[in-house]
Amino acid sequence: MPYCKSCGAYIPDGLSACLACGYDESAQSAAAAAKKAEQEAAEQKRTQHEQEEYARQEMERQRRIQQEKNRKWAEEEKARRDRQAENRKWAREEYARRQTEQGTRHEQQDRVHRSETDTGKTGDQQAGAKSGNYALAALSYLDALFVLPYFLTPNDDYTKYHAKQGFKLFLFTLVTRVLKYFTAFGWIFTLLHFYLIYKGITNALGGKKAPLPYIGTIGDK
């Protein structure tokens, strides 16, 4: 026999609600089940919201990390390019400075040679030039042709002088040909080589017993 769980009164068969207090066990169970379902739905919704918020925060964190990496890379790249620009600027300035120094030395040497010629200090050189073979002396600066004066004019001091200068140029040429393969400034040696040839031939044809720039006095006592 069913009795009311609230007041303990007898509930006739076929009825679910208590006639004394009105307590309905079926309605209470349905309400409890509905409330429980509502709580579970709210909990599920809250959990889903938390997961979405966590995912959003994680994406934002990853975005900031990547943004920081990009910023650091951009700063390093800018610093690297600045260093390269400074190195190129220094190289241009250094090259210009050396070119200026070389030009100044050449001008000074030319002034000294002209002064010696005008004041008669090279009288012995000019005398030797008058009796020497200008063309043969000039050939001494073309590779190994410096040996010709020793066989053709062994008693001519003028041609032998330029033959010695040509021998020094020949040795310098051999050294520079080797250095060009081990340095990045081979073109400088090439330009210097042609300049020395030009200077030697000019001196020989001009009747000057003048040493070559930079190498002409090497080995002289």
pLDDT of residue 73: 92
Q: Is the pLDDT of residue 173 over 80?
A: yes
> What is the average pLDDT across 81-95?
89
pLDDT of residue 63: 92
Residue 79: partners with Cβ closer than 8 Å, 6 or more residues away = none
Domain map (residue ranges) of the chain: 30-121, 123-221
> What is the average pLDDT across 166-173?
88
Q: Mean pLDDT across the chain, nearest whole number?
A: 80
> What is the average pLDDT across 89-104?
88
- How would residue 124 be classed by pLDDT, with cut points 50, 70 and 90? very low
pTM listed for this prediction: 0.40
Gap between the Cα atoms of 198 and 212, Å rounded:
10
Helix, coil or strand: residue 180: coil
Please tell me which residue, 216 or 3, carries the higher pLDDT value. Answer: 216
How many CA within 13 A on the CB side of residue 150? 10
Give 98: exposed, middle or buried? Use CB within 10 Å, 0-12, 13-18, 19+. exposed
